[in-house]
A and B are shown apart, each in its own frame.
Chain A
Amino acid sequence: MLSISTLQQRTGGLADGRTAKAGLVACVFLSALPTVRLSAQGEVDRLALRFASMTAVTGLEQPMVDSLRALFPGSTRDQAGNVTLTLGQGSPKRLFTCPLDEVGYVVGNILPDGFLLLRRVGGGGGGRGGRTASPLFDQQLEGHRVTVFGARSAVPGVVAVKSTHLTRGRVATEASAPDPVFTVDNAYVDVGASSVAEVQGLGIAVLAPVSLAKRPQLYGERLLAAPAVGRRAACAALAVAVQAKPKVKGTVVVAFTVQSLYASNAGLASVKALLGPFDDIKTAALPARYADTAVETVALADADRLVREIVQWMEGR
């Protein structure tokens, strides 16, 4: 199945005490529907690239929320931070969601010499609905550029790595030698500062969100690579479907949700509690190659198809 999953049928979410653990039911959609114009393809590409360039560390999604609010002037931001908009009226009342958050980092400490240390947010698994990140997730930071989202602006930095030359003769090269993966505990972020005061002068404080610098890569035949691009391209497809002004059957609430990777998917639960109950709930998703890496890849042709499927679903066809 390409895209849309049925999370629940006729669930009231937290309102009636049930959670969204219903089995995923495959939905079969017809492709190549004529109601979505070909011009949507360019818009999908543009929005997918734009969303993939953005950072929304789970629980700290405000900048992306603001961008979505600007994209959809009639939308609202609920208490949890979700962006919602309501299309149509009457029944049935259905919900289409897209999680916009990602596993990321926050500044955990600022050292006297101006280096920053990090704490990961999400990806730790556990019993609160979190997903376990790849064992190599943190290693993707090592020796690469990051962005620290300070109070005043986005600040470029890098994660320190040992110099190749100075390692010569100090590290055994045999295949059997210890070769531990890089973890977040080894991540020293260098923004070019030499003191705590200099860091603070950049508007950076503990809890400032941090992510790999986002530089989406288009390659092959409309393949798009970027961290968390599966989610972002799916959200772009949902946005384009809304922009296509479908003739909605009944009421469709569209929700770009926060904190899907933390605290038992609190964003979705909040939408259901505040705006439910819903007769049907679906979530936008796309298949991705190299998932959970910095080059997670989606085919934008799949996003085109997803747009058509969402429109069809909204129109009740």
Chain B
Amino acid sequence: MMAVRGSVLAVLLLSARPPVRLSAQDSVRISEAQAVLAPLVESYGVSGAEGPVREAVKRLLPAWAVPSTDTAGNLVVRVGQGGPVVVFIAHLDEIGFRVTGIRDDGALELETRGGFFPSLFEAKPALAHTDQGDIAGVFMPRDSGFTRRTPPPLRVDIGTSSRAATAARGVRPGTTVTMPKQYVRLTGTRATGRSFDDRVGSAAQLIALRRLDRAALKHQVVFIWSVREEIGLEGAEAAAASLGTTPRRVYAIDTFVSADSPLELPSFAVAPIGRGAVARALDNSSVTPPAYVDSLVQVARARGVALQVGTTNGGNDGSVFTPYGVVDVPIGWPLRYSHSPAEVIDLKDVVSLADMIRAVAETW
């Protein structure tokens, strides 16, 4: 989910009572969610360099799906026939860095891609993603200014001692840089990793597609895995311009940044993890018409899917469709510790998110 600079919004948290039985309690469903999500989380794709993630999504598509990639880099799968068209969109990219220069001593100078706390990367292992493969290194620790949390601009040491030696490893300005990541299961149905935002949304769309009853579709449904969301919804803008006024609704499938943490104020965004998907009724980029929120809740109840309703911060891909008269109905999943190397989710929420996507596609 794109981090949007803006003032704190008013509290709005409506409760959609979860059904008695959560479909997510089926261990087969949890296993399926993990099997789809883990390889996506362990693929690297800083904004503008989403290729490995896009290929991972392609590999996980059902056999009948015919994907295409548009000129922006978005991956698109169309299902069903006729109007009005409905769009689901989740983003492929993740936050990270891009090399801006190579110093005389071989170290890499960086710029950020997306919003995050740079202190979380200081003095940690690094990976430079080159055309020749990933090059290991370290984010160099500061050598002064120890009284502030925020470090000076970060640099990466890949173990070379000259500009020429670094260039010989295939690193050049424009190369993206992240840190190594791993999908790790916590206790119960919880898991941690980096870039759950928005690999969970991407995984949920895949699971929904796999389980979709295509015969039940009343119109065409377009599934998009977008690029460059974290740096300004750029892929979605291209998709929205391409589709124009054709879609009736767009469902942005993206993170609901949750205040379910001892470090957060409980004034809003209080959607606990493990209690289902979340209708992102209000964020920094969109307000969902209340009737659509109510309708979403009704669909969830009818299908026995756990759904929460709330407001959080950040922007979503669906917001750039609204200038074309398309209603944006973002649906998220609660996430702790957004844009950090230690994001935490509950796999039950992945299942309920996939079930919501399927339910909306088949019944709305």
Q: Which residues of A contact B (CB under 8 A)?
A: 111, 113, 115, 134-136, 139-140, 142-145, 155-166, 168-170, 179-182, 186, 188, 190-193, 198, 202, 215, 217-221, 223, 225, 290, 293-295, 297
Contacts and interface: CB of A to CB of B under 8 A. Distances in A.
B72 interface: no
A222 to B, nearest CB: 9
Contact of A156 (B136, B148, B186): B186
Contacts of B204: none
B125 interface: yes
Contacts of A164: 3, 115-117, 338-340
Given A166-B257, A193-B188, 11 more contacts: A155-B187, A158-B186, A163-B257, A165-B3, A165-B339, A169-B8, A190-B336, A198-B188, A215-B180, A220-B160, A290-B140
B136 A142 contact: no
B14 interface: no
A295 B141 contact: yes
Nearest to A136: B146
B119 interface: yes
Contacts of A143: 117, 120, 337, 340-342
A145 to B, nearest CB: 6
10 contacts: A136-B122, A156-B192, A164-B3, A164-B338, A166-B264, A166-B269, A181-B149, A217-B137, A217-B180, A219-B136
A69 B314 CA distance: 53
Nearest to A115: B262
Contacts of B240: none
B237 to A, nearest CB: 20
Contacts of B157: 219-220
Contact of B342 (A158, A220, A223): A158
B24 to A, nearest CB: 15
Given A169-B5, A290-B141, A160 B262 contact: yes
Interface string B57-98: 000000000000000000000000000000000000000000
Given A115-B262, A181-B147, A193 B120 contact: no
Contacts of B140: 290
A188 to B, nearest CB: 5
A287 to B, nearest CB: 15
A113 to B, nearest CB: 7
Interface string B131-145: 000011111111000
Nearest to A219: B136
B159 interface: yes
Given A165-B313, A169-B7, A181-B149, A293 B190 contact: no
Contacts of B262: 111, 113, 115, 160, 188
B253 interface: no
Nearest to B259: A166
Nearest to A111: B262
B312 interface: yes
